[in-house]
Amino acid sequence: MTIRHHLNDDLLLDYAAGRLSEGWSLAIACHLAMCPQCREQLALAEATAGAMLEELTPVEGPADSWETLKSRLAVTPEPAPRPVSRPVSATLPEPLRSYLGGDLDAIKWRNLGNAKQVLIKTGDKTTQARLLCIAAGKPVPEHSHGGRELTVVLKGSFHDEVDRFGPGDIEDADGSLTHQPVADDHEDCICLAITDAPLKFSSRLLRLVQPMLGI
Amino acid sequence: MTDRTDNAAPPTQTSAQIVAIAASADMAAFEALFKEFGPRIRAYLLKLTRDGQAAEDLMQETMLAIWRKAGQFDPERGQASAWIFTIARNIWIDAWRKQKRPAFDPDDPALVPPPEPEAPDLLEQKQSGAALHAALKTLPAEQVELIRLSFFDEDSHSTIAARTGLPIGTVKSRIRLAFGRLRAALEEIK
């Protein structure tokens, strides 16, 4: 598997600095799980932040800061070992499985014609996260974006006006892009899509039923 | 390579302190770590919150988290200061912004491993504190400042844009350029 579409530095640095909201971060985390190269870049960004932390001019606090900390330490319960139950193998990466409550086989899809989807609940009110499954060889309806859309391919591949996107690839689309993603022939394409505005479909009929379908 | 700024903590010492906390709840090591990093973590959180009391509270939370999570720190896998930064950052997101920052799980079976076994020496060397400090020294002061702001300012892009009168797009491209220069400088040092 060769990833061709990586995190750009804007996303990488914003994620490293902790400035991205939960929805965007979910897409970044899924790409990172699938992309060792970007994990290395993230480690570099965090190492840089650490080096700069060392160089920050110290700010002194209250005189009793250490005493306060020590007394809080005394009442801090011993860490409970976190129960970690990991499956032996998985198709979808963490943290996505935790959001979905399971792997691919646990998903209750909602049919949308050539595609099916499931909306993903996050605490982030500024974005909508969804898992999409586009049937092999089929297009999703042509649309543009009122805002940004981050798409991470998890399985299969699709192509659009921009390029071809395979497993692990991330597409960062802004409001200016109108595209029609088409799943490649060999298998269904499953991807995670994060948006901060409703999609704008070119078809009037789709725009009409959009609120009912929740897309 | 070994040239370090005078006020920075020796990295091996910091690593050893965290390991000692994990191994034996070593209070002396924790106090030394607090003296070295507490005021810097406070400075970082003060930049993000602009609230002295919040910075103090969040610094305390960060130190408690360091105490509790010390066993998760792996000196082979990275710099102590980077690890401390990520803990302070996550406390800020969680306790101050009340948000979540989903992250990958390094032990997830679905995690795609690097194509060839990582050369730990190379990675270690590239990201060693000494190499980073040396690389940062070769950058023009404005570029270092841009990188610093991109980590230590709550909303760096618009803040820098407002301060310099530059469009946000320009600010972003200058930050990208600065980070690119840092990468290139690290390659040179390596």
Residue of B89, B110, B176 lying closest to A92 (CB–CB):
B110
Total Cβ atoms within 10 A of residue A76: 13
Chain A interface includes B78 (CB < 8 A): yes
Mean pLDDT on B124-135: 77
pLDDT digits (tens, 9 = 90+) for A156-170: 999 999 999 999 999
Res. B46: pLDDT tops 50 = yes
Least confident range of A203-207, A210-214, B128-132 = A210-214
Residue B14 identity (one-letter amino acid): T
Would residue A188 count as lying in a domain?
Answer: yes
Chain A interface includes B80 (CB < 8 A): yes
pLDDT digits (tens, 9 = 90+) for A9-64: 999 999 999 999 999 999 999 999 999 999 999 999 999 999 999 999 999 999 99
Least confident range of A122-131, A195-204, B24-33, B95-104 = A195-204
pLDDT digits (tens, 9 = 90+) for A143-194: 888 899 999 999 999 999 999 999 999 999 988 888 899 999 999 999 999 9
Q: Please report the sign of the dihedral spanned by the C-alpha atoms of residue B83, residue B88, residue B91, residue B97.
A: negative
pLDDT digits (tens, 9 = 90+) for A79-106: 555 666 788 899 999 999 999 999 999 9
From residue A190, how far is each of A115, A152, A184 by CA, in Å?
A: 10, 9, 11
Q: Are A141 and A201 in contact (CB under 8 A)?
A: yes
Position of tokens 């070992």? A81
Residue B162: pLDDT band (50, 70, 90) is confident
Would residue A85 count as lying in a domain?
Answer: no
Would residue A54 count as lying in a domain?
Answer: no
Would residue A72 count as lying in a domain?
Answer: no
How many domains would you assign to chain A? Answer: 1
Q: Write the CATH number for A187.
A: 2.60.120.10
| Chain A, nearest residue to B22 by Cα | A79
Residue B5 is predicted with a pLDDT of 47
Task: Scan residues 121-180 of B and list those with Cβ closer than 8 Å to A.
Answer: 123, 126-127, 129, 132-133, 136, 147-148, 150-152, 154-156, 172, 175-176, 179-180
pLDDT digits (tens, 9 = 90+) for B131-145: 899 999 999 999 999
Res. B45: pLDDT tops 90 = yes
Provide the domain limits for residue A188: 97-213
- Please give the structure tokens belonging to residue A19: 């400035």
Mean pLDDT on B31-52: 96
Residue B111 is predicted with a pLDDT of 96
| Chain A, nearest residue to B91 by Cα | A18
Residue A201: pLDDT band (50, 70, 90) is confident
B52 vs B126, more confident: B52
Residue of B30, B40, B60 lying closest to A58 (CB–CB):
B40
ipTM over 0.85: yes
CA distance B148 to chain A (A): 7
* Chain B partners within 8 Å of A99 (Cβ): 102
**What does pTM read for this prediction?**
0.91
* Chain B partners within 8 Å of A57 (Cβ): 7, 43
Residue B126 is predicted with a pLDDT of 56
A99 vs A209, more confident: A99
Would residue A84 count as lying in a domain?
Answer: no
Total Cβ atoms within 10 A of residue B114: 13
CATH 1.10.1740.10 in chain B: give the residue spans.
Answer: 7-112
Q: Are B11 and B80 in contact (CB under 8 A)?
A: yes
> CATH topology for B7-112?
Rna Polymerase Sigma Factor; Chain: A (1.10.1740)
User: B63-84 as b/e, with b when 16 or more CB fall inside 10 Å?
Assistant: bbbbbbebeebebeebbbbbbb
Domain B115-190 in this protein, CATH class: mainly alpha
pLDDT above 70 covers what percent of chain A? 94
Would residue A45 count as lying in a domain?
Answer: no
pLDDT digits (tens, 9 = 90+) for B83-101: 999 999 999 999 999 999 9
CB distance A36–B112 less than 8 Å?
A: yes
CATH 1.10.10.10 in chain B: give the residue spans.
Answer: 115-190
Least confident range of A105-119, A199-213, B23-37, B98-112 = A199-213
Would residue A164 count as lying in a domain?
Answer: yes
From residue B119, how far is each of A150, B75, B115, B122, B123 by CA, in Å?
A: 32, 15, 12, 5, 6
A108 vs A202, more confident: A108
CB distance A54–B152 less than 8 Å?
A: no
Q: How far from chain centre, in Å, is Cα B59?
A: 14
Give the best residue of B72, B101, B116, B148 to mutate against chain A (max A CB count within 10 A).
Answer: B101
Beta pairing partners, B173: none
